[in-house]
């Protein structure tokens, strides 16, 4: 399969920043130039088109300033090669970042100062991808603090391998690299609650997906990127990324499960932004999509979604909407349907059931479910699950003198729980 056409790094950075067209980026660059005091600079869509071509010209100094200011990356990281550095190598600081396994500064370049002396055999792609698959499976049982460094180190190896591969082997490495960065970004956001790091890591994942020319993987990455502004209450930014995610999904055969998951992601963003009516409509549409189905299989890497997961999304939205009896019924059904391997999600469901009982004025039942969530978190840590428990404890403030709430506090603020939470 031929290499993807154009400057995929700039394209990925543009889409990740919420500019779905070249015209959008051109307009934003022109506005940004005025904001940072560069007078008379107007960047047109033809210029952006040249920058996203196979051979992007080195931007003029003022254009460089605006690009870096708006997109938050160095000019080299955006896919431009300095005219004094035609081989495309980068400064020593990038070499140090690669060696150290740093994420934000690594990009997809070869290790600087080293000529590519060999071409990796075809087996290199399969071998690299095999480790990526192993990390994907380990995510569900290995503590995030232990798995995260291993995933980043593996991604760093992929960055070094990529320039040494060609043709289908290069595409295999790039696809596995994108998946590795996606997993690291998921750990950053859901397990470690570090949205800024997650944003940087997911951008690298999107760039690698561009190298692989894998639109469905790109769609999944963009949908994960929508979670970040969505959870922060920035509805416009979340929906821009969801529009991009759906656009990418149309470019490849997408399974019913994948399309339903996109609805679920958008529904969660709408819920976090206060529009539960739209969220419930999206979840209803996702249920219909799953019920109808299609002939396309889900990708192997999509192991984070199922009908039970969709029901968990629904139960949380019903809770936020104040539909407490419906939320209770939905979430109890999720516990019955959830496979035994869903340890992380189980802590979230227990937390949501605790929130249902707290909102219903049942502090004893709320503390019981919160305790079950803590039992699960003691086995498999998940920051999102702990967030749910803390939200429940805040809701129980009017009952804080009751014995059950004090017992919950003893567990929530015990030595082992507190130290574990702070060390993750």
How high is the pLDDT of residue 173?
Answer: 95
What tokens does 396 get? Answer: 């129980």
- Is residue 298, in this structure, part of any structural domain at all? no
Over residues 341-347, mean pLDDT:
90
How high is the pLDDT of residue 415?
Answer: 58
C-alpha to C-alpha distance for 241 and 344, rounded to whole angstroms = 26
pLDDT tens for each residue of 213-223: 999 999 999 99
Q: Which of 270, 195, 264, 273 is nearest to 233 (CA)?
A: 273
Q: Provide the pLDDT confidence category of residue 125 given band limits of 50, 70 and 90.
A: very high
Q: Which of 168, 174, 163, 279 is nearest to 221 (CA)?
A: 174
How high is the pLDDT of residue 95?
Answer: 31
Greater model confidence, 224 or 416: 224
Contacts of 68 (CB under 8 A, 6+ apart): 74, 75
* DSSP code, position 362: -
Residues 358, 423, single domain; the answer is yes
Residues 96, 206, single domain; the answer is yes
SS3 33: helix
Q: Based on the structure, what is the number of domains in the chain?
A: 3
- Is residue 259, in this structure, part of any structural domain at all? no
Residues 95, 207, single domain; the answer is yes
Q: Which of 275, 236, 245, 251 is nearest to 263 (CA)?
A: 245
C-alpha to C-alpha distance for 205 and 211, rounded to whole angstroms = 10
- Report in angstroms the alpha-carbon separations of 120 from 167, 168, 207, 384, 418: 11, 12, 21, 40, 47
Q: Cβ distance 168 to 125 under 8 Å?
A: yes
First to last CA, the chain: 42
pLDDT over 80 (residue 22): yes
C-alpha to C-alpha distance for 205 and 176, rounded to whole angstroms = 10
pTM greater than 0.85 (yes/no): no
Residues 33, 59, single domain; the answer is yes
What tokens does 315 get? Answer: 């139960």
- Burial class for 164, CB neighbours closer than 10 Å (0-12, 13-18, 19+): middle
pLDDT tens for each residue of 83-101: 654 444 443 333 333 323 3
Greater model confidence, 262 or 54: 262
Residues 68, 123, single domain; the answer is no
Residues 193, 171, single domain; the answer is yes
Domain interval for residue 68 = 1-85
């Amino acid at each position: 399969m031929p290499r993807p056409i154009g400057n995929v790094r700039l394209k990925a950075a543009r889409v990740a920043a919420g500019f779905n067209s070249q015209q959008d980026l051109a307009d934003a660059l022109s506005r940004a130039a005025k904001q940072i005091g560069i007078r008379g600079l107007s960047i047109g869509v033809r210029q952006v088109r040249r920058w996203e071509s196979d051979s992007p010209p080195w931007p003029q100094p003022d254009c460089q300033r605006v690009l870096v200011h708006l997109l938050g990356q160095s000019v080299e990281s955006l896919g431009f090669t300095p005219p004094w550095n035609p081989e495309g190598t980068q400064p020593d600081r990038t070499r140090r970042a690669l060696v150290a396994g740093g994420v934000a500064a690594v990009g997809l370049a070869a290790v600087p100062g080293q000529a590519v002396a060999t071409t990796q055999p075809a087996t290199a792609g399969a071998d690299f991808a095999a480790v990526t698959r192993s990390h994907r499976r380990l995510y569900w049982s290995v503590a995030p603090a232990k798995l995260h460094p291993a995933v980043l180190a593996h991604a760093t190896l992929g960055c070094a391998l990529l320039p040494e591969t060609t043709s289908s082997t290069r595409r295999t490495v790039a696809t596995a690299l994108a998946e590795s960065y996606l997993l690291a970004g998921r750990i950053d956001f859901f397990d470690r609650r570090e949205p800024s790091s997650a944003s940087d890591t997911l951008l690298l994942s999107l760039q690698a997906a561009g190298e692989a020319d894998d639109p469905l993987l790109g769609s999944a990455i963009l949908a994960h990127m929508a979670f970040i502004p969505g959870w922060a209450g920035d509805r416009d930014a979340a929906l821009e990324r969801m529009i991009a995610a759906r656009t990418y999904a149309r470019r490849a055969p997408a399974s019913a499960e994948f399309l339903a998951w996109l609805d679920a992601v958008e529904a969660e963003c709408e819920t976090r932004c206060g529009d539960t009516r739209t969220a419930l409509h999206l979840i209803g549409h996702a249920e219909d999509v799953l019920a109808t189905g299609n002939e396309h299989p889900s990708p192997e890497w999509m192991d984070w979604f199922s009908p039970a997961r969709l029901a968990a999304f629904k139960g949380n939205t019903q809770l936020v909407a104040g539909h407490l009896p419906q939320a209770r019924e939905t979430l109890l059904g999720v516990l019955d349907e959830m496979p035994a391997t869903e340890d992380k999600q189980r802590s979230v469901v227990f937390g949501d059931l605790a929130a249902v009982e707290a909102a219903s004025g049942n502090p004893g039942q709320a503390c019981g479910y919160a305790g079950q969530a803590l039992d699960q978190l003691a086995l498999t840590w998940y920051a999102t699950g702990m967030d749910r428990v803390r939200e429940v404890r805040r809701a129980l403030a009017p009952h804080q003198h009751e014995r059950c709430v004090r017992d919950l506090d003893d567990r929530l603020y015990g030595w082992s729980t507190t130290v574990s939470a702070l060390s993750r």
